Structure formats: structure tokens, C-alpha cells
Amino acid sequence: MSYDTIILGAGWAGSVAAKELTSKGHSVLVLEARDRVGGRAKTWQGEGGAKIDVGCSWIHGYREGNPAKKIAKSLGVEAHLPKPAEGLVYGPDGPLPKEKVAALRSCLSAAQASFKLPYPAPQPSASLASALLSSDSPLFKPSSPSSDPATTDVSSTSPANPSEVTSSASSGDVDKTLAEGLARTLEIPLGLKLEKASLKWAGWETTTSFAGSDAAPEGGYEALVNKVLESSKAKVELNKIADSIKKTESGVTVHTSDGSSYEARTVISTIPLGVLKTLSREFFSPALPERLQEAIAGTHVGFLEKLLLQYPTAWWPNASTIGSYTFLPTSSSQPTENSSIEEIFDGSSLVMANFAAPSLPNPSPTLLTYLSETPAKLLLKQDPAEVVKAYHAFLVKRLKPSTTPPQPEKYNLTNWLTDEYSYGATTTPSIVSQNGERSPLDFKELGRPVWEGKLGFAGEHTEMEHRGSVAGAVVSGFREADRVDRLLELLKE
């Protein structure tokens, strides 16, 4: 049988495209390499019915127009905006006083604001680190004191957006080591080290991406993507790894690694950028245009891993009120390949969300720590059980409970980096380049169809305005479905 469209990948982008195209009367086959639907939407099931997302977890910009909100609503899935909860920041000697945290956050906010879309444009080889961490950076300069430092809002460090920095108060000296430690938490949402992020394009995306309020879909993101696909009329085949796509007289043929082949008039690939980078030139026949191949090779897939520890009881301080804990490094040297697991944790900026806090429904005695590039890369080389043991010891050392806490009863350490169907977390903002080869236009390039429109591309990596997010994947699914719908109509004529 020949289909109107074959969609490769049953993540957000593929599921949305499948639903849209079938709703317009087209026949669609979805081929998914994994044994499940959802892709980078994946929900961990813990003890006591805990469901915690280990891939995407938040509908960013929930009240600000994220299209995932409308989809969730239309499928009867509720999404919860977390109740505000305070965030604690730990320095080497324990929790920092509120005023000190406010001052540090204020400096970081000022520095971020001053390096947003810098003009005149810096050299493309300049990194965010070169400005943010320079000795004359606003990061290290106390800004004018607020009339009431006690009112400074640190509640925005809820698990919803643990790295968001909003504050207006500041006074006194700035501790440079602490300030840099806090600035390094930006590496979590960026997905890369400050040294690799382009200064020229710093903050470029924040002008268009969905931001403000964040909400978590009830039951987790994976179930929501499943509902999207179930509500479509597409045929879905799991465990089908596309291993070549050929243009033919009548359209396209997709071959899968189990020896099957499928025909269609058009195909939409939602294969993630990390995987596209690993494919041979022969995967697409005829080969993709050189310019597109260069964009695939030159754009960057970032790091973000999650470490979950579930305990029998919530033993950590203020478990019922604190939304997140930020641990600034106790050591000034950045961890290296030779560091022990303990040294990796000691030398990293870590943000940990507390799921025992009643900010979301169904609290669970679970701690979720976001790992940015440096700790993620190093820890994934270690035995996960040893990582968990060392992290538990780290938590006891930093949080100093008055009695001996229980051991974790369940854990999960994600590994998106070597997952053969993602090879990384998501695309990152534009990286530094010698002559300006890299720019946000790369993401437009990655979404341009080829083969007279018969081979299209969707996925978070193909959306210039919303790359790296669920919103990007969803918008790309709508975009490609709309384009292919028009093409199919033309082909019928």
C-alpha cells in the first residue's frame, strides 16, 4: 500500500503532524524507531504512583500562548501551574542569607540584560563567557540597593524554571566565586557551557520564545503525546528504524532496518538533529544539498540530564515549603576527566527541584537534579549506582540533616547523550564561530524541504523561533502538515 505521507518519528513533532494530516483526510503512516511513542517526552514511574518527566516537563509560556496548552485542553488533559515556593541557594558554608542571594541574582540579571543582543555586534568568535565572566562584567558589580531588600522575589526558582533569575535588589560586595557559580546555572537551560555560546546571539531567542508561566501536564508529557497520536487516524508502527529514504518516480520509499520498505507520495522526517549528524550520506538518496549538510554538521546539540532520587520520606530541610535548592560549587576548579564523582559534584553548580513540596499535585519524596554539560558529560562515564551513592553523600554533606537520613529507594539517571535515537538533549542557541558561519538562520535551513517538497523536516531543531522546546516541535509539526497538505492537493491536480 502507498500512503500520502510517511512520518519518521513519533515524538511531539511527528504526532502533531500525523494528527493534522489525517484530520485533513490524508493517509499517514508513522514509523517510530523506539518501542514507545513520545521521543524526548518520557515519564519515569516511581514508588507511590509518582510520575516525573525525565525529558520535557514544562509547558513554557503556558499563559503566553504555547500551542501545547491548546492541545492538552482539547484532549482533556489538565496542566498545573506550580504554586510559588521559595528557592534556597547554598554556598560552601550552607544556605546563603536572602539578602546575599538577592544581591547575586540582581547582578546576574543586570549582566544578562547588558549582554542581550549586544550592539554593535561582537565578533562571532566571542563567547557569552568572555563578556559575562570578564572582570568588568555587571555580574561582579553591586547594583544600586533596593529600598527593601527583604521583598526580593526568590520564589521564581520553583522547579518550574529553576534557572530563571529575576530580582531587583542588590547592595554590598559581590563574591566573585559565588557570582560565577550562579552564572554557571545558566548552562542548564542553555544546554552548553558559557564558553561555547555565541555572545552575538545572546538573548536573541528570548524575544520570541514562549516564557512567563510554566505548567506541568497531569500524568506527564509522555501520556499527552500518546493521546495526540491516538487521536489521529494515522497507522503507527513501533520498532521501525528508518535506514534509508529514496526519492522515486511516484514519491518516496522508506526502508527500515528490519528489511521492510514503505511507499508514499511524501515523507516528513522528525529525526532529531543529534541523529541526523550520525547518518551516512547515503541515508538520503539523492543526497541532501551540501548547504543543508553543512547546517546539520555545524549546529549544536546540547547536554541536559536529570538525576532523580526517590526516598521513603522527605528528610531534607524545609521539604514542605522549599521549591528548589541551588548548590554553588565548593571548589573553585572546574571538574575534569580526572575528577572523582565527589569532586564533580563539589565543583559544579547544581539546581535541584523538590517534588515533596506541595507546589504541584501528588507530591512525592523525590529530588530531581538538573545536570548541565560539565557534570553530565563526566558523570555519564561512571556507574549510575556509584553516582547515586556519591550524590546522596553530597546531599547529606551540604544539607546537614540533624539525624541520619534514609537511603534512596529508587533512582533514575537519564542518558540522552548516548541515546541512539536522540544523541543529546536538544539543539542549543547559536554557538561561537570564526567567521559568522553560525546564526539562528541555521534552524530555518534545517526545516527547508527538499526533493520538490516531497521530503520535509520537522522537529524542535527546525524552528528558528522556538528551537529546543516542545513549542518548537509542535509548531514545526503544524507547519509541515500544512505545507504537505497543500503539496498533496497540488499533486492531485
Interface contacts to ligand FAD, rule CB under 6 A: 8-14, 31-34, 39-41, 55-58, 60, 241-242, 270-272, 275, 304, 306, 416, 421-422, 425-426, 459-460, 468-473
Q: Least distance in Å: CB of 474 to ligand FAD?
A: 8
Q: Which C-beta is closer to ligand FAD: that of 327 or that of 416?
A: 416
CA 345 to chain centre: 21
Catalogue the E-assigned strands of 382-474: 410-413, 455-457
Q: Tell me how far, at minimum, the Cβ of 57 lies from ligand FAD, in Å.
A: 4
User: Cβ distance 96 to 154 under 8 Å?
Assistant: no
Question: Which triple of cell numbers denotes residue 283?
Answer: 541515508
Using DSSP's 3-state secondary structure scheme, residue 476 falls into helix
Looking at residue 220, what DSSP letter applies?
-
Q: Which amino acid is at 295?
A: A
Cβ at position 9, least distance to ligand FAD in Å: 3
Q: Is 244 helix (H, G, I), strand (E, B) or coil?
A: strand
Q: Which is nearer to ligand FAD, 47 or 420 (CB)?
A: 420
Cell 525529558 locates to: 55
Beta bridge partners of 95: 90
Shortest Å, Cβ 458 to ligand FAD: 7
Residue 125 in 3-state DSSP? coil
Nearest distance from residue 309's CB to ligand FAD, in Å? 16
Compare residues 149 and 274 and give the one whose CB is closer to ligand FAD: 274
Complex with ligand FAD: residue 10 or 108, whichever CB lies closer: 10
**Which residue number, 127 or 364, has a Cβ lying nearer to ligand FAD?**
364
- As measured in angstroms, the least distance from the Cβ of 199 to ligand FAD is 24
Asked if 268 contacts 422 with a C-beta cutoff of 8 angstroms, the reply is no
- Phi and psi angles of residue 102, each rounded to the nearest 5 degrees, phi first: -60, -40
Residue 419 CB, shortest distance to ligand FAD, in Å, is 8
Report yes or no: 308 and 331 within 8 Å, Cβ to Cβ.
Answer: no
- Residue 418, Cβ neighbours under 10 Å: how many? 10
**Amino acid making up residue 119:** Y
